[in-house]
Amino acid sequence: MASLNVGNLGEFLREQRRTAQLSLRQLADAAGVSNPYLSQIERGLRKPSAEILQQLAKALRISAETLYVQAGILDERRSPDGAGVQTAILTDPSLNERQKQVLLQIYESFRKENGHGGDPDGDTAHRSDDGPDDGPEDGDHPHEPEADGGPHAT
């Protein structure tokens, strides 16, 4: 997971605000944050939460994902795999920031462990060549004898 890049986020926000021809006060009002807090974000002094980034994105009429990428919360999307899960975690109001970061780290570690960290096809459903058999597959019944009376018959 990328580290939080607060300085570049602030520069990006300032550029987007100026492109939208909004004053600092206008954007702060539209996003529902205080003027001093937004100023501190733009100067790279404060780290906004995913919710604040979402509010700022809405006020600027840009995607929240764009700000998540700028903030280093979300890796730039190369393909749609995993993006829905990451967005759902980041935008869930019932989770605090620490919980969101931990969930994203766990999710990414599982994806990498399963060989899908940067896999463009995003197929995480089933792989038959990923190592030893660690349990019954669909149709296997571990407690039934083999039909042919082979070495696994009981």
Tens-binned pLDDT, residue by residue, of the chain (154 aa): 444 455 589 999 999 999 999 999 999 999 999 999 999 999 999 989 999 999 999 999 888 888 888 888 877 655 456 667 877 787 777 888 788 888 988 988 888 888 876 533 333 333 334 444 444 444 444 444 444 554 554 5
Q: What is the per-residue pLDDT for 14? A: 94
* C-alpha 150, offset from chain centre: 48
Nearest to 82 by CA among 103, 61, 56: 103
Contact 77, 127 (CB under 8 A): no
- Count of CA atoms in the C-beta half-sphere (13 A) of 6: 11
The whole-model pTM stands at 0.49
- 139: alpha, beta or left? (left if phi > 0; alpha if psi -120 to 50): left
Domains of the chain as residue ranges with CATH: 6-113 (1.10.260.40)
Query: In this predicted structure, what is the pLDDT of residue 69?
Result: 85
What's residue 104's pLDDT? 86
pLDDT at residue number 140? 47
What pLDDT score was predicted for residue 151? 54
